[in-house]
Amino acid sequence: MTDNDVIVAEGIVKTYDDSGVPVHAVRDIDYTLQKGEFTAIIGPSGSGKTTFLNVLAGLDTPTEGKVWLSGKLISDMSGRELSDFRRDHIGFIFQAYNLFPVLTVEENVEYVMLLQGVPSGERHDRVMDILEKVGIAEYAGRLPMQLSGGQQQRVAVARSMVSRPSLVIADEPTANLDSKTSGALLDMMRRLNEETGMTFLFSTHDEVVMQRARKIVVLQDGKIDGKASPEEC
Amino acid sequence: MFIRLVKFAWKIIWRNFRRTVITGLAVGLGLGSLMFTEALMQGMTAHMIQTTTESWMGDAQIHRDYFLDTRNINPTINRPDSILSMLDGDSTVSFYTARILSPASVTSTTELKPVTFIGVDSETDPEVTMLEAAVIEGSYLSGDSTEIIIGHKLADDLNAGPGDVIVITAAQADSGLSSSMFFVSGICRFGSDNLDRYSAFINLTTAGEMLGIPGEIHEIAVKFPQAEAGADTSLGFWRRFSVFGNSALGWPELAPQVGSMLSMVDISMAIMAVILFGLVVFGIVNSLFMSVFERMYEFGVMKAVGTRTGTITAMVVLEAFWIAVISAVIGSVIGLLIIWITSKTGISFGEIEVSGIVFDKPIYPLLNLSRLRLYPLFTLILTTAAGIYPGIHAGRLNPAEAMRKSL
């Protein structure tokens, strides 16, 4: 493990046993994600992408194996430590945007900073700054339902980045968007990656995302089936 | 952060407007009905105390120590003049009246009935009892030695009316028998079987002479400025007048059945409150769990972005708090409105008798805010507390599982 490693995963196995029949979602994966990467995990539905991301982000515990996040072993952290760690180091983007419907765009974006205890004035400045960057500053006072799908996902991107995490994890971020909006969103995210040096890890089976990723990890039946550049896909 | 959570919780409960309103109404109606029942019970209690003390008993009575145990003719009040003189000078006493009581038989031209034969002071009695006001036919005692007032039921039993002659026969203090003839001067109606069927009222002096105890009395009925003083054991009155072998007793001791009824009312209210608040708690827990299950993904997201377990629990508890506030407001408005209306109109139960007390007049619910304010307070506390369990459940959700299961 080097200082440049954001995530190191060794021998990750995740098995679900909800209905008495074991389902092997992730099988014995070793994986390392380095700072500044803009990587897509691709694979068909049911290949284990979301489960793999959840385990890497500390949202779920692996059945077997170990995960280090920024050099810290997840299994050594208490629930509270892990929660605080995610709050301070990881930004999340979900496929269904998952903004809080009763909060305005500004309130949604500042939520994580509120948890971090950032002072009110600084919160406002940082929210407006990131909303400018994602191009929706004029919608700061609107509720999510008053925005289009693409605009809502921009808000989700702003929310994931405003706390200045070292890693942004996005699970199928373009699943509910048309190809034009998806392309614009990915271009924006890549620009932010280049400007800020933040690490991005996506799961997707969207070609628009694959084309803009700098690295691609192929997942098949819960196992890494290879790594490739976008040109090879 | 806390203020933002409070605002967040307020916005969340209005996401499902219908459920919040229905929950608020359900809890509010329960609270309103409990407040109304409490006010009605207070009204009934006041009516019972009023009927017991104002109609005949007074707020307190003084007797010879063992008179109430035997009700014999001989244990008259010891040193009555001293006692009456002390009562004149006692600032806690509003009015008092002296009485003689004795078992007797009353005979008309057709019937013979057992009665309690009561000698009353026709001048002081109207300040303490309702006898004068209870006369529905004929007239009140004027001081004539041959006049007698009987209850309307006894009049029916004896087939006697105003002007008719009846004969009272009673044992004298020296064990002899004494019979006297009286003219019925008035028929009274108290609404109590004991007074309407089994009592006959004559002048105090006449009673003393007839029983051979002139100048003696069996009972002094006392009225305080407030009837509640009769139940106040800390009052110095009891000590001051329990002297010379006499005892001063308040209405709860004189009419223990009323005291028991009042205790029963308190217990009934407590049971009702426990049942109702129990239902409220389960209703709120159910409502909040529905809300939590509907928002599983949202809670998953909240946990994913770093919201601590305690913060999520606090948010659900705050949602319960807001529902509690809404319910308490709705319930208080409903309860106070019904109480206010019925306190003007009264509620008639027809003519029922409980523990010898007849409820023949409308009952007026009493607006006693010092007690009524406790119910909205309990609603607030219990409904908010009901949010703890769903809140802990929401806080402990595994983020990945919450998002996976709600998809």
Flag whether B235 is in a domain: no
Is A101 within 8 Å of B4 when comparing Cβ atoms? no
Is A159 within 8 Å of B305 when comparing Cβ atoms? yes
Q: What pLDDT is recorded for position A228?
A: 65
Which residues of A fall within a CB distance of 8 Å from B11? 102-103
Flag whether B164 is in a domain: yes
CB-nearest partner of A100 from B298, B308, B404: B298
Is B303 within 8 Å of A117 when comparing Cβ atoms? no
Same domain, residue pair B84 and B190: yes
How many domains does chain B contain in total?
Answer: 2
| Domains of chain A by residue range | 37-47+79-232
Give CA–CA dist A174/A42, Å, rounded. Answer: 13
Chain length of chain B: 407
Q: Which domain holds residue B386?
A: 2-52+258-405
In one-letter notation, the amino acid at residue B271 is I
Q: What pLDDT is recorded for position B358?
A: 66
Flag whether B359 is in a domain: yes
Of B201, B223, B245, the domain-final residue: B223
Sign of CA dihedral B70, B75, B81, B83: negative
A214 to chain B nearest CA, in Å?
A: 26
Flag whether B106 is in a domain: yes
Q: What pLDDT is recorded for position B68?
A: 87
Same domain, residue pair B209 and B148: yes
Predicted confidence (pLDDT) per residue in A151-195, tens digit: 998 899 899 888 888 899 998 888 877 888 888 888 888 888 898
Give CA–CA dist B212/B207, Å, rounded. Answer: 8
Flag whether B285 is in a domain: yes
Q: Give the chain B residue nearest A59 (alpha carbons).
A: B400
Give CA–CA dist B207/B100, Å, rounded. Answer: 7
Q: What pLDDT is recorded for position A183?
A: 85
Predicted confidence (pLDDT) per residue in B77-123, tens digit: 999 999 999 999 999 999 999 999 999 999 998 889 999 999 999 99
Same domain, residue pair B217 and B344: no
Give CA–CA dist B278/A159, Å, rounded. Answer: 42
pLDDT band with cut points at 50, 70 and 90 for residue B354:
low
Same domain, residue pair B271 and B178: no
| Least trusted range by pLDDT, from A149-158, B4-13, B41-50 | B41-50
Same domain, residue pair B69 and B147: yes
Flag whether B245 is in a domain: no
Predicted confidence (pLDDT) per residue in A32-57, tens digit: 999 999 999 998 888 889 899 999 98
Which residues of A fall within a CB distance of 8 Å from B5? none
Q: What pLDDT is recorded for position A123?
A: 93
Predicted confidence (pLDDT) per residue in A116-140, tens digit: 999 989 999 999 998 988 888 999 9
Same domain, residue pair B267 and B141: no
Ordered DSSP codes for B36-88: HHHHHHHHHHHHHHHHHIIIII-SEEEEETTHHHH--SS-PPSSHHHHHHHHH
Flag whether B387 is in a domain: yes
Same domain, residue pair B37 and B151: no
pTM of the model: 0.76
SS3 B307: coil
| Least trusted range by pLDDT, from B147-161, B205-219, B340-354 | B340-354
Which residues of B fall within a CB distance of 8 Å from A51? 400
A99 to chain B nearest CA, in Å?
A: 8
Q: Give the chain A residue nearest B305 (alpha carbons).
A: A87
CATH superfamily placement of domain A37-47+79-232: P-loop containing nucleotide triphosphate hydrolases (3.40.50.300)
Which residues 56-85 of B have a C-beta within 8 angstroms of A? none
Over 60: is that where the pLDDT of B407 sits?
no
| Least trusted range by pLDDT, from B86-90, B173-177, B193-197, B303-307 | B173-177
Of B176, B206, B223, the domain-final residue: B223
In one-letter notation, the amino acid at residue B256 is P
Flag whether B294 is in a domain: yes
- A40: phi then psi, degrees, rounded to nearest 5: -110, 135
Helix (H) or strand (E) holding B220: strand B219-223
Same domain, residue pair B169 and B208: yes
Q: Give the chain A residue nearest B12 (alpha carbons).
A: A102
Over 90: is that where the pLDDT of B319 sits?
yes
As a whole number, the mean pLDDT across chain A is 87
Q: Give the chain B residue nearest A16 (alpha carbons).
A: B401
Whether the Cβ atoms of residue B148 and residue B168 lie closer than 8 Å to each other: yes
Give CA–CA dist B394/B295, Å, rounded. Answer: 9
Over 80: is that where the pLDDT of B351 sits?
no
For residue B374, count other CB atoms closer than 10 A to its CB.
13
Same domain, residue pair B305 and B333: yes
Which residues of A fall within a CB distance of 8 Å from B8? 100, 102-103
Predicted confidence (pLDDT) per residue in B140-192, tens digit: 999 898 999 999 999 999 999 999 999 999 988 777 888 999 999 999 998 77
Same domain, residue pair B70 and B114: yes
Sign of CA dihedral B204, B210, B216, B221: negative
pLDDT band with cut points at 50, 70 and 90 for residue A232:
low
Is B305 within 8 Å of A111 when comparing Cβ atoms? yes
